[in-house]
Amino acid sequence: MRSTFRTLTGALALTTAAFAAAPALADGEVNIYSYRQPFLIQPLLDAFTADTGIKTNVVFASKGLGERIAAEGDNSPADVLLTVDIGRLDGAKQLGITQPVVSDVVDGNIPAQFRDPEGHWIGLTNRARVVYASKDRVDQDTITYEDLADPKWKGRLCTRSGQHVYTIGLIASMVAHHGAEKTEEWLAGVRENLARKPAGNDRAQVKAIFAGECDIAIGNTYYMGKMETNDKEPEQKEWANSVRILFPNADARGTHVNLAGIVLAKNAPNKDNAVKLIEFLSSSNAQQIYAETNFEYPVTPGVEVSERVQSWGELTPDDLSLADIAKNRKTASELVDKVGFDNGPAS
């Protein structure tokens, strides 16, 4: 285990103060492992500290945090794990590194469809998996996920890897709605419509549309806000201006949504403070900060989305339980490999 822990630790990109500088058992602190970049969550943590007086210590990494907590075992300093996607939330539960959150506050703030039935993960914000469409080359204003397999899109579609957690979540939702056999047929059709092998992140897909490499792409809603407000890289504003968002299946079952969320670590040394943090993040105040700074959809009822998000159009979310989607992730991953999705079109 020591060897495994050293390997995992060496692979992590730690961006904030190490816990060695802040004893895990100190009063008035909470230790956070985060897949979410520090600049995204800092406004929330600042508000939490101002509200409660509890100091936050954060370790950030793009991967391996769940495995790190598992390797640390009883000695893990982690109180909570902040992450994105139902796959990682459910994956933490499957790793055995979580414990149920028992809180009337959380249960009152977060609807049941955005919580694990056994309390092992809590959804905090929604993002929709939408279609980015070229303003110049795509005339239609509506689309469905099923339409993405229509041959009319042959050579016109871009997306990231089929094995990325965001893509797996969408495919898992298709399995939940249509079954594995029909989803396999659909996924093979989508593969044949690809303009290139799946590559890059969601912003890269919008860049590809701007460059004329494809006409439509699959991506998360909040990337539009990040590009539209990116003063450090103004070319991203041009990418964003070249597309508009289409909400798939808006007139039927609704658009697939996924979660950013949090789990309470199994061996949390500051459990009471960790629960206070989770309760705060579920509050209207924190949800409003999420909405304004990260361009995400609050899950707490009654909290409005930001004006920028409103400008993209109305979201009708698929009310399929995220827990049901999580059950189909393994099948989704197997289908990606079975149809050779990441190899790109056959011809």
Annotated binding site for Fe cation: 222-223
Q: Are 340 and 197 in contact (CB under 8 A)?
A: no
- Report the distance separating Cα 309 and Cα 157, nearest Å: 24
Q: Are 263 and 66 in contact (CB under 8 A)?
A: no
In degrees to the nearest 10, what's the CA dihedral of 332, 111, 81, 201? 50
Annotated binding site: 222-223
